[in-house]
Amino acid sequence: MQRFLANLHSSSDNTTWQASILVIVAGYADAVGFLTFGAFAGAMTGNTVLLGIALAGRDFGAAAQSAIIIASFLVGVAASAILGRRLPLMAILGIEAVAIVVAALIAPPVAAPVLAFAMGLQNATMTRFAGASLNTVFLTGNLQKMMQDFLGRFTGSTKPLQSEAAEGAVIGQLWIAYLGGVVAGALAHQWITYPLLPVVLLLPLALIRRALWNGRGDS
């Protein structure tokens, strides 16, 4: 039990299980956010595109909304940097859960920035998984890293071949998890009055290192 609690509060290098849970949450939030608010919860590239389109069309109300969402994501990142030095992982994910619940229950114009804050907080809080630095909210950088690892086998990369293959497998798993989260979020948007609420139940699972269940250390 002591070993379990010690690992529960450690977030320096987490498992692919934890990354997968968080990626599902992000995919779910992005789908619900786009379908409900017309904006992405975690994909700031997409929100920047929406900002530029709004500016080009002189739709300054929509432009302001996109800018606020982007700023809220950055506030979440900053909050993670500050709180991460003072609070355990459990408390930070608890703040994320509260933000998601609030976003589920308030009016869309305010809910979108709150949800973006939650995703910024998540993405900056846990960044090391199975020995690799990965994002859990947006996938572009992860996919680029996967392709670079694959090409490194043929271009003389300095990384060990086994390390490249393992990292690529993790990123592929996270892509599938994100897609699954998107599908679940889209279905929840159709079937549930407050579609953001169910995804909060996944966050406690991100505290658990799956490797502990079979008696091994972190992988």
What's the CA gap between 98 and 104, in Å, rounded? Answer: 10
Count of CA atoms in the C-beta half-sphere (13 A) of 177: 23
Report the percent of the chain where pLDDT is more than 70: 73
Q: Which residue's entry shows tokens 């960044």?
A: 127
pLDDT-derived band at 161 (thresholds 50, 70, 90) equals very low
Mean pLDDT of 54-65: 96
Mean pLDDT of 185-199: 96
* Residues 34 and 184 sit within 8 Å (Cβ to Cβ): no
> 116-120, 177-181, 188-192, 206-210: lowest mean pLDDT where?
206-210
Report the percent of the chain where pLDDT is more than 90: 53
pLDDT-derived band at 24 (thresholds 50, 70, 90) equals very high
pLDDT of 187 over the 60 cut: yes
The single-letter code of the amino acid at 24 is I
What's the CA gap between 162 and 66, in Å, rounded? Answer: 42
Tell me what pLDDT residue 216 has: 42
Number of neighbours of residue 73 by Cβ within 10 angstroms: 28
Of 10 and 138, the one with more pLDDT:
138
With the C-alpha atoms ordered 205, 80, 11, 133, is the resulting torsion angle positive or negative? positive
pLDDT of 63 over the 80 cut: yes
Structure tokens at 120: 């910024």
- Tell me whether residue 18 is exposed, middle or buried, using C-beta atoms within 10 angstroms of its C-beta: 0 to 12, 13 to 18, 19 or more: buried
What's this model's pTM, rounded to 2 decimal places? Answer: 0.80
Closest CA to 92 of 116, 71, 122, 136: 122
What's the CA gap between 133 and 92, in Å, rounded? Answer: 19
* Residues 117 and 72 sit within 8 Å (Cβ to Cβ): yes
Structure tokens at 133: 């630095």
pLDDT-derived band at 123 (thresholds 50, 70, 90) equals confident
pLDDT of 1 over the 70 cut: no
Tell me what pLDDT residue 51 has: 97
Of 126 and 13, the one with more pLDDT:
126
Tell me what pLDDT residue 155 has: 59
Which residues have C-beta within 8 Å of that of residue 195, sequence separation ≥ 6?
Answer: 32, 36, 104, 185, 188, 189
pLDDT of 38 over the 60 cut: yes
What's the CA gap between 66 and 41, in Å, rounded? Answer: 11
